[in-house]
Structure 1
Amino acid sequence: MAYDLIIVGSGPGGYVAAIRASQLGMKVAIVERENLGGICLNWGCIPTKALIKSAQVFEYIEHAADYGIKVAKPEIDFPAMVQRSRGVADGMSKGVNFLMRKNKIEVIDGTGKLIRGKKVEVTDADGKATTYAAENIIIATGARARPLPNLPIDGKKIIGYREAMTLTDQPKRMVVIGAGAIGTEFAYVYSSIGTEVTVVEYAPEGLVPREDADVSKELTKLYKKKGIKVLANTGVESVDTTGDVIKVTAKDRKSGKDVVIECDVVLSATGVAPNTQNIGLEDLGIEMIRDLIKVDERYRTNVPGVYAIGDVVEGPALAHVASAEGITCVEGIAGLEPEAIDYNNIPGCTYCVPEVASVGYTEAMAKEEGYELKVGKFPFSASGKASAAGVKEGFVKLIFDAKYGELLGAHMIGANVTEMIAEVVAIRKLETTGHELIKTVHPHPTMSEAIMEAAAAAYGEVIHL
């Protein structure tokens, strides 16, 4: 049972690496303890977007009169909404299964553990262990929800993202702890379908605190307008789950005052922790950086023949990052000379409504780096396409280096901006200047025109403001 490559974990890092390795002529096996596609396809990226779409459709129908359409008052079928989400995830997982067969990749069901001698021990559901050998091994075991020490997830009253996708009953009141992408997306879903939502965020910025300050401020304002309570600069002190009603005690970090929030369920969305425990790393002497695996630019660990990609290494814990790392890693193993990933040109997307997308430096980061800036902002309220579609919220903000015209960063909030951000990633990759972007003719009417207009605004040439 010897292979050229064994990959432990079949998420968007693992399965993509497996396919690329097969394309390059390697004999490949992939080890998965649960479902092909990992967290992203089964419990993360894909099913959450299905829930978001259901919530968005419900909002469309509720505001149908705004578009000149009369409909009966809609009702939420919460179990059917969850069932649709699970069906989408199942379909995607089956698609990965097809890709494994198509590329002649052996799928080994069970929990993998690295052992000395370039081997992986796989224990199946019945407890039977089988050992497999490979010239190369990639660790792609992903991550899980990171609970706060004073907020243990019990799966019923205090839940993580997995339980939030599969609740049997819609809660009347929910407290979301953490205002990053996961917390913000679930806050939108549940609030849109009628749940009373309170978001508690430790950082003072408010929602999506790692985004540019203007975006964070705008999304926080829009969420409050939707009726979502946002408690920024607030830390959770304790959660009392002993009664029928859950009581969350939080402290305002500025005033020092406590606030008690009553709810039916608490969603802990305070980030993820890498799955680096109990997979044999200590036995092999693999070097770590805190709880992450230390790797070089080709994702090699300090142990020859052992590699690591995705959420178990330093860098953004994003599906597209894991996929890119998997391809780069495998091409290096095959003896090619892959270009190193530019981690300053990785797009980040939050799929709430309105959507948030960004790449590169925030304005504050660019100033800290000592750049002299030209900053342009174009609101969607001035966009003909946004007005026609009834989605005038948000803006595009571009940050340029005043000296050379380099696009340092882009920050967007609005409808479909998670699709629009790819243009900016390509622009940065190609080192396109601000003036070149202004002279790139964009189709009208489109939301993407806002990118050209924001560039023009930075240089004092904007037409539609």
Structure 2
Amino acid sequence: MADTKFDLIVIGAGPGGYVAAIRASQLGMKTAIVEREHLGGVCLNWGCIPTKALLRTAEVYTNMKHASAFGLKAENIGFDLDAVVQRSRKIAKQLAGGVGYLMKKNKITVIDGEGRLGGANGSGPSVIVKGKDGKETTYHATNTIIATGARARTIPQAGLEPDGKLIWTAREAMTPDHFPKKLLVIGSGAIGIEFASFYNALGSDVHVVEMLDRILPAEDKEVSAFARKAFEGQGMKISTEAKVDKVELNGDSVKATITGKDGKSVTDVYERVILAIGIVGNTEGLGLEEAGVKVEKGHVVVDEWLSTGVKGVYAIGDLTGPPWLAHKASHEGIICVEKIAGSNSVHPLDVKRIPGCTYCQPQVASVGLTEEKAKAAGRKVKVGKFPFQGNGKAIALGEQEGFIKTVFDEKTGELLGAHCIGAEVTELIQGFGIAMTLEATEEDLFHTVFPHPTLSEMMHESALDAFGRVVHI
């Protein structure tokens, strides 16, 4: 008979759940993880990783079209959609297999099926798992972590319910059986913009509709404005302060009525629609209400240590609300487990220090407060900016589009935020993340030696610029 008693059971094997399980095992806990679909969750199988594979294809394709700028010849450039998708799926499969290996290596019991909280017992909450054969098994654990993630938000009143054929979520958008010549993307956050960038690069006529007054609304205003100009220069159509009032599905096309900020409505026909207006937590069917777990606005309410307030029940990741990021979920998983284990060195997560990355062309990355939010918080700030066109490595790469912006507290020199747009800024941003974690001031950044020639030199120059000491502009 299978073992049914554990120190910790994790429901959901995404980047939050499987990392939490591994850390628990490292700390000596007898651990099990429940997963209804794929190890690695949405991020690894249908999100972060496979989309980056697609976007890498788009980047290479764009470079091939501009081969002459590098003294190269590339003629009759084209792409095989099936091969592009298969490369992405192969990478996802490889990494999912890697998670399976990690579970075995760390002696974590993997339970296939759908888990939900059961009644409490002497040692803690129980978890009932419905297997793929329909049979239910009850497991017991001292502690349970819920890490079931989230799914795409929909707009039923406008007819915007994904059907898998004409109206896509991210899942359908990354495994298309048809390349849309004309595409409507609803929502301009990271997910919407990444898919808009991918399809636009491969030749689709892309129209992005955003309800707010700017695209990438979570980013610094200057970054948003620069991104919009860049995307429109690539041929993308962007409508802000606009909404899709209704859609009509007609055979192999979608008729959409869009109302702009001037109040006028326009109807147009698209081959496909991508819905990217945010996500909602997967809270259903988990027995949360029966267990006394509080849910607000589609997300589980937790404290700084990820506790739900119900003894032995915790929740992490997208399920607990924004920012909806894989690395946030993973870090929460470690914090949660280390707190359960009684660690004295664990610290609550500071969401202001979580970097955000968007892998469009050009890339966008940020950490900390925007200039606007810093000022709204009553901080007097010093702001520095340095353009890619002033950096030798960027010029050599043929990537002169973009800038790096830093926001400092005027009095203390504390780095409050960094906001970047341009080539490889998703790799550069962690330098600022480390600086913020170490509570670095402008002086610390001034005295750091940045290697030459690198894109990272712009990080240095941006800090110098905030205090009137910039060198190369």
Structure 1 counterpart of 2:454: 446
Aligned with residue 192 of structure 1, among 192, 198, 201: 201
Q: Is the 8 A contact 2:166 2:252 kept in 1?
A: no
**Is 1:96 matched up with 2:99?**
yes
**Is 1:434 matched up with 2:439?**
no
**Is 1:420 matched up with 2:409?**
no
Structure 2 counterpart of 1:164: 173
Structure 2 counterpart of 1:411: 419
Structure 2 counterpart of 1:155: 164
Distance 2:441 2:133 in 1: 59
Q: How far does the alpha carbon of each residue in 1:18-42 deviate from its partner, in whole angstroms, 9 at most, with x for none? A: 0000000011000000000000000
Secondary structure in 2 aligned to 1:241? strand
Q: Post-superposition shift, 1:289?
A: 2.6
Structure 2 counterpart of 1:45: 48
Structure 2 counterpart of 1:301: 308
Q: Post-superposition shift, 1:194?
A: 0.9
Q: Post-superposition shift, 1:243?
A: 4.6
Counterpart of 1:296, as a letter, is D
Structure 1 counterpart of 2:389: 381
Q: Post-superposition shift, 1:314?
A: 3.3
Structure 1 counterpart of 2:146: 139
Q: Post-superposition shift, 1:154?
A: 0.9
Q: How far does the alpha carbon of each residue in 1:179-226 deviate from its partner, in whole angstroms, 9 at most, with x for none? A: 000000000111111111110011111x21110000000000000000
Distance 1:439 1:333 in 2: 40
Q: Post-superposition shift, 1:391?
A: 0.5
Q: Post-superposition shift, 1:290?
A: 2.5
Structure 1 counterpart of 2:238: 230
Return the TM-score normalized by structure 1.
Answer: 0.98
Distance 2:403 2:365 in 1: 11
Structure 2 counterpart of 1:54: 57
Q: Is the 8 A contact 2:168 2:275 kept in 1?
A: yes
Matches within 5 A, 1:277-292: 277-292=284-299
**Is 1:272 matched up with 2:279?**
yes
Q: Is the 8 A contact 2:317 2:332 kept in 1?
A: yes
Return the TM-score normalized by structure 2.
Answer: 0.97
Q: Is the 8 A contact 1:375 1:458 kept in 2?
A: yes
Distance 1:318 1:287 in 2: 22
Aligned with residue 328 of structure 2, among 318, 321, 344: 321
Gap runs ≥5 in structure 2: none
Distance 2:316 2:251 in 1: 43
Distance 2:316 2:17 in 1: 8
Q: Is the 8 A contact 2:280 2:299 kept in 1?
A: no
Gap runs ≥5 in structure 1: none
Distance 2:395 2:449 in 1: 21
**Is 1:20 matched up with 2:23?**
yes
Q: Post-superposition shift, 1:71?
A: 1.8
Secondary structure in 2 aligned to 1:175? strand
Indicate the larger mover: 430-439 or 267-276.
430-439
**Is 1:114 matched up with 2:117?**
yes
Matches within 5 A, 1:328-339: 328-337=335-344, 338-339=346-347
CA RMSD of aligned residues (A): 0.9
Distance 1:328 1:276 in 2: 21
Q: Is the 8 A contact 1:315 1:343 kept in 2?
A: no
Aligned with residue 355 of structure 2, among 339, 347, 351: 347
Structure 1 counterpart of 2:213: 204
Distance 1:457 1:67 in 2: 31
Flag as ranges the 4+ runs of structure 1 deviating above 6 A. Answer: none
Secondary structure in 2 aligned to 1:116? strand
Distance 1:115 1:373 in 2: 51
Counterpart of 2:97, as a letter, is K
**Is 1:78 matched up with 2:81?**
yes
Structure 1 counterpart of 2:373: 365
Aligned with residue 265 of structure 2, among 258, 262, 269: 258
Q: Post-superposition shift, 1:261?
A: 2.5
Indicate the larger mover: 292-301 or 175-184.
292-301
Distance 2:131 2:360 in 1: 38
Q: Post-superposition shift, 1:169?
A: 1.6
Secondary structure in 1 aligned to 2:256? strand
**Is 1:29 matched up with 2:32?**
yes
Distance 1:190 1:291 in 2: 31
Secondary structure in 2 aligned to 1:364? helix
Indicate the larger mover: 241-250 or 77-86.
241-250
Indicate the larger mover: 414-423 or 336-345.
336-345
Counterpart of 2:399, as a letter, is V
Q: Is the 8 A contact 2:166 2:253 kept in 1?
A: no
Q: Post-superposition shift, 1:128?
A: 1.1
Counterpart of 1:124, as a letter, is G
Indicate the larger mover: 379-388 or 141-150.
141-150
Indicate the larger mover: 61-70 or 333-342.
333-342
Structure 1 counterpart of 2:466: 458
Matches within 5 A, 1:167-178: 167-178=176-187
Counterpart of 1:438, as a letter, is F
Secondary structure in 1 aligned to 2:373? helix
Distance 1:108 1:8 in 2: 9
Distance 1:242 1:354 in 2: 35
Distance 2:461 2:266 in 1: 44
Q: Is the 8 A contact 1:35 1:93 kept in 2?
A: yes
Q: Is the 8 A contact 1:13 1:323 kept in 2?
A: yes
Aligned with residue 249 of structure 1, among 226, 244, 257: 257
Aligned with residue 402 of structure 2, among 370, 386, 394: 394
Secondary structure in 2 aligned to 1:46? helix
Q: Is the 8 A contact 1:374 1:402 kept in 2?
A: yes
